[in-house]
Amino acid sequence: MSLTGPYDPDNIFAKILRGEVPAVTVWQDKHVLAFMDVFPQSEGHVLVISKTSQARNLLEVEPRDLARVTAAVQRTARAVERALSPEGISVMQLNGQAGGQTVFHLHFHIIPRWADRPVKGHGHAPMAELETLQALAERIAAALD
Catalytic residue list:
107
Q: Is 39 in the site for ligand 5GP (CB under 6 A)?
A: yes
Among 14, 23, 55, 128, binds ligand 5GP (CB under 6 A): 23
CA dihedral 138, 47, 42, 71 (to 10 degrees): -80
What is the contact mask toward ligand 5GP in residues 71 to 100, using x (rule: CB under 6 A)? -----------------------x-----x
Question: Between 11 and 145, whose beta carbon lies closer to ligand 5GP?
Answer: 11
Question: Between 103 and 145, whose beta carbon lies closer to ligand 5GP?
Answer: 103
Q: Is 101 in the site for ligand 5GP (CB under 6 A)?
A: yes
Q: Is the distance from CB of 109 to CB of 47 less than 8 angstroms?
A: yes
CB of 106 to ligand 5GP, least distance (A): 9
C-alpha span between 37 and 41 (Å, rounded)? 8
CB of 23 to ligand 5GP, least distance (A): 5
Q: Is 12 in the site for ligand 5GP (CB under 6 A)?
A: yes
Give 2's Cβ-side CA count (13 Å radius).
3
C-alpha span between 54 and 11 (Å, rounded)? 11
Distances (CA, A) of 51 to 13, 14, 65, 68, 84: 9, 9, 9, 10, 26
